């Protein structure tokens, strides 16, 4: 099916594993899903409302980030396509091979995270657009919107951290 998003979600969840044991990190799950859920629950129980302007800004916000994240994916793909010449020294070639494997892993995880952020933005955009059109100011819609913002921002921080690590490696490993 052309719109099956399960692989995006599955690949993103694979990045939420502990580095030492490769088991799912419950801390990460609590952080990325639990914290936004608690914030959304607080918004719901306190009967907080959002204005039409808040939804209008959210539509713009998520729309812009969809475009930005897709551009980041193009940059990641450019790095992925880059080929390095193998050194003639066997030891140096082995070191370069390990570095290439680490880079490939980081690129794969970063791509999964960016794809997931795009997916979150698309779902958020559709939701806030619906809330805007229906003029839902309180109840579940504001809580859902707050959840999406919280989840998006935390996941974006993870993307920024991984992109930083990737680009730092590129800058460090690029010959002068």
Residues 166-175 have pLDDT tens digits of 778 767 766 6
Q: What is the pLDDT of residues 103-126, one digit of tens each?
A: 888 888 999 999 999 999 999 999
Residue 77: its pLDDT value, please? 82
Q: Quick one: pLDDT band at residue 35, thresholds 50, 70, 90?
A: very high
> How large is the average pLDDT for residues 142-146?
95
Q: Which long-range contacts (CB under 8 A, 24 or more apart) does 51-58 make?
A: 51/137, 52/132, 52/135, 52/137, 54/145, 55/128, 55/129, 55/131, 55/132, 55/145, 56/132, 58/124, 58/125, 58/128, 58/132, 58/145, 58/149
Question: What is the pTM (predicted TM-score) of this model?
Answer: 0.85
Q: What is the pLDDT of residues 2-19, one digit of tens each?
A: 888 999 999 999 999 887
Q: What is the pLDDT of residues 69-109, one digit of tens each?
A: 999 888 888 777 777 677 777 787 787 778 777 788 888 89
Residue 137: its pLDDT value, please? 78
The dihedral sign for the CA sequence 10, 15, 21, 27? negative
């Amino acid at each position: 099916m052309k719109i099956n998003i399960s692989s995006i979600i599955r690949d993103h969840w694979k990045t939420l594993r502990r580095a030492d044991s490769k088991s799912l990190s419950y801390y990460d799950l609590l952080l990325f899903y639990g914290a936004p859920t608690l914030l959304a629950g607080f918004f719901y129980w306190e009967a907080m409302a959002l204005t039409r302007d808040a939804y209008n800004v959210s539509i713009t916000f998520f729309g812009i980030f969809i475009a930005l994240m897709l551009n980041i994916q193009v940059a990641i793909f450019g790095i992925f396509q880059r080929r390095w010449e193998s050194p003639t020294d066997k030891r140096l070639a082995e070191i370069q091979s390990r570095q290439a494997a680490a880079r490939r892993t980081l690129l794969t995880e970063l791509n999964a995270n960016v794809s997931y952020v795009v997916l979150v933005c698309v779902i958020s955009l559709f939701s806030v657009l619906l809330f805007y059109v229906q003029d839902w100011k309180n109840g579940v819609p504001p809580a859902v919107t707050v959840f999406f913002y919280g989840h998006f921002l935390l996941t974006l921080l993870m993307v920024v951290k991984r992109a930083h690590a990737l680009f730092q490696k590129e800058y460090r490993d690029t010959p002068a």
